[in-house]
Structure 1
């Protein structure tokens, strides 16, 4: 199918991507419960979406999941906690062991199952051993409310295993069900980030109903525990299973969000793995039952997805807690069916933030310029139409690169048509009329894939551009004249 018209491939971001590993360049989405078993898949380049398609699964893939691609961006596996599936969505050798040792019933059904807690597993590339991928997996068990003074009804048990792809014919899970630590963890909330050497990993695991966290590192020697750190006073209680955790791309912040209890934001020391200086706040008008968080690529902003509202916090502010602004509320007046709420989001390889909905949505919303403050971040609601409905969560993966090459949000003299009281571009059929008032300038036209179609330099202050020979689709027209810069989104039918 054609790539959706609402995503335009003018890039505010230029990633330092020469030789960059593409571990998250293909995203696979789950299906909504009760719908068919067709899964949606999105393929990225450095500048945007290049293809969207669907594929058939024998399984009803719904709920928490993670994924990883090879260094070229081709999908390797989709992991649902209950099963690990290859690129064709068939089970990998050793998959049957994931049904063993379970403390609860979530994975008992061989076809229709889902794990209900968020971020319950991580797959990481071992940067020391080619084709070895360490896995951390959380299983859950139920407790009484007063057992061990725990406040949450389910607690997590942390295990490790490996995915071995050295034999292309016999890819398999190995070293399964090694209990990492004999303690009670939150039922999900696993996240990781690269260490400063670009090879090893930091992993933080919250303990259940506690202000304490266990800090791990994965190095050439394997998985090591560095210790326990207890910081702050905020405890997540019964609803801690619905939660989102993330490191900032620059590895200076660690955040945890539970819709009922709010946001916990910590400073993170990427040299030692320590978290400190906690801040607590809750989005205005919040208290939704579901939601998530995502840092901007430059790590200066934090976005909070709260179902019908999207908020942005300024992490450079001296008062982060009170810096939140409402970016937008969910637009239900578009006439589109199966729209998606603001439930969870993640940074794409192109530097945009893609936002998934809640149970049954067929769209992704997109933040085109997520490093920009306020409305300049350019949220486009229901921008990407998927072939079918997707489930309630974006497929999770850690940040595999730090986005240090992203360009800062640049203030420009972009024309505000309401204030300037004239139209720069006007489409009439297959002709685009432009008006730069009394200044000459230049115009560039780009395709949906970011390819330069046409450049016109030193054009007269006003004129007309013919698009008769253009194929139907989406285009971006960029114009510069004097000190002004303007962008016009064009769709030819």
Structure 2
């Protein structure tokens, strides 16, 4: 997770927060349910007035919209979004009509234009949010399978090079208990989970279905109810498709989707610690699995942090929920960007594997330094497209064939760590250079170590980000203008939070050191 420059954009992002980027991570478009913005943070031509609902709440609902690339037309982006209405039948706010629009990214010198706008798809009480998609088993097209409100009926759409096609609805199992919440496909595309927070009295419901990615059909519904003590909204699934995480304001629960009785595997992996950030509770709301294999969770209040599940592939407390771990430079509320898994390929050898698209592995990994031994690292495999073998070269004349190994480096130094993954279709290799500790006694220029500190001015906490260096015994020291030390603490690779700052107002200076070498310096205003 990296920090970009701060930008002031007159644009409201609430619970409905979706975006799409290039394969290399460059922003293309983002959408709040009302208007679509481009990579320059400007309104796309004809991209306003895309919310037609009778209630403002409708554009501020989790997963109330989705952006998808139209297959074989990479410059055409489909937007599907829904609106909210008041239902006399249910005496509550429900899903309204479903619409689609299309953005042509070739228009206006690449700035884009909405060329098809607000085309009605369905007006008969579809679900409230929970719009998501899964890749077709042919490896090219997309399925959008979406429930009706309080129903066992699902609408089905196929997005192909020919455009968006409505297929026959499916009726399956028992009615879904609709409410505010999220829908998540497992990263392998084999299951979908609907999480609905109905009410404090009725609690929340989890519905799990198997997914046929060839036919776009659901099967084998599993439904169970859980009591909740707050807003039950957020859900996310680990990158190995095993563990489901759901939130309930004060709690995060984990379920094992591989178990025979999923409901019986409920494990409370986090209880809100009471932290206010800075004025409101930084409790739990929406969730999203990110490309680094971690799950990020927002808050139901305006706060300056995200909670992180560091190792969601692990069961129980070893998943390591780190509350308010990512300190942000600005206030954020409710929403977190949601998006489907773009790195899901075909089902090789299936009846619909007809396009000649193969799962050619894409290598990727992350490195986590052990804070008790700076030379020990955990390497998590994040590769895509069904690798079958793994070969790690740690750059110190040692190798491993484990999926996600733990490795102890011999001494401080620069190591080129490479991962090669392969299957019957091909192979791919990626490398990353790890700078561990002090390499020699030569004082290197400060700019060689990229360090970011924010916010500045500071109120009661700040964050120090050190992404390019793995220290041995690093620490930050803050000084008052008189030279008196007001605070010092250890630093590690990645995000480091300095909390409970109670210094008097004024200018303070800081230095960052590791084994007698100054890595950075600067000043902050309190």
Normalized against structure 2, the TM-score is what?
0.66
Following TM superposition, by how much is the alpha carbon of 1:467 offset from its aligned partner in structure 2, in angstroms? 12
In the TM superposition, residue 264 of structure 1 has moved relative to its aligned partner by: 0.9
The CA deviation string for residues 279-317 of structure 1, in whole angstroms up to 9 with x for no partner, is 12244x524224211010110111112211111111111
Q: Look up the match of 1:35.
A: none
SS of match in other structure, 1:210: coil
Give the aligned length. 391
User: Secondary structure of 1:178's match?
Assistant: strand
Classify 1:452/1:157 alpha carbon distance in 2 versus 1 (closer, same or farther; 3 Å): same
Describe the superposition over 1:101-151 as per-residue Cα deviations: whole angstroms up to 9, x where unpaired.
x24142xxxxxx972322111110123113001111212332312xxxx57
Query: 1:164-209 CA deviation, whole Å, 9 max, x = no partner?
Result: 1123526111221221235321132211011122210010111122
Q: 1:333 to 1:151 in 2, by over 3 A?
A: closer
1:442 to 2:410 alignment: yes
Q: CA RMSD in A?
A: 3.7
Q: Which residue number in structure 1 is paired with residue 435 of structure 2?
A: 453
For residue 157 of structure 1, report the CA deviation from its aligned partner.
0.8
SS of corresponding position for 1:54 = coil
- Whether the aligned pair in 2 keeps the contact of 1:158 and 1:185 (CA below 8 Å) is yes
State which drifts further: 243-252 or 208-217: 208-217
Summarize the Cα distance change of 1:61–1:293 in structure 2 as closer, same or farther, 3 Å threshold. closer
Listed as ranges, the gaps of 5+ residues in structure 2 are 199-203, 346-360, 376-407, 416-430, 452-464, 473-490, 497-511, 514-526
Q: Which of structures 1 and 2 has the larger relative contact order (alpha carbons within 8 angstroms, sep 6+)? A: 1
Unaligned runs of 5+ in 1: 1-48, 107-112, 418-422, 427-439, 457-464, 479-487
CA gap 1:444/1:376 in 2 versus in 1, 3 angstroms: farther
Shift in alpha-carbon separation, 1:143–1:291, aligned structure 2, 3 A: closer
Q: Does 1:385 align with 2:327?
A: yes
Task: Name the residue aligned to 1:56.
Answer: 8
Structure 1 residues 441, 258: CA separation in 2 closer, same or farther (over 3 Å shift)? Answer: closer
Secondary structure of 1:55 counterpart? coil
1:339 Cα deviation after fit: 5.5
The 2-side partners of 1:324 and 1:122 are apart by 30
Post-superposition offset of 1:236:
2.0
The aligned residue for residue 267 of structure 1 is 210
Q: Partner residue of 1:94?
A: 46
Q: What residue number does 1:217 align with?
A: 158
Aligned residues of 1:204 and 1:214 also touching (Cα < 8 A): yes
SS across alignment from 1:59: coil
Residue 156 (structure 1) aligns with: 96
Q: Are the equivalent residues in 2 in contact too, given 1:259–1:287 (CA < 8 A)? A: no
Q: 1:321 aligns with which of 254, 260, 263?
A: 263
Residues 300 and 316 of structure 1 are in contact (CA less than 8 Å); yes or no, is this contact kept in structure 2? yes
- In structure 2, relative to structure 1, the CA distance for the partners of 1:138 and 1:387 (3 Å cut) is same
Counterparts in 2 of 1:133 and 1:441: CA distance versus 1, 3 Å: closer
TM-score by length of 1: 0.70
In 1: Cα distance, 2:492 partner to 2:263 partner: 36
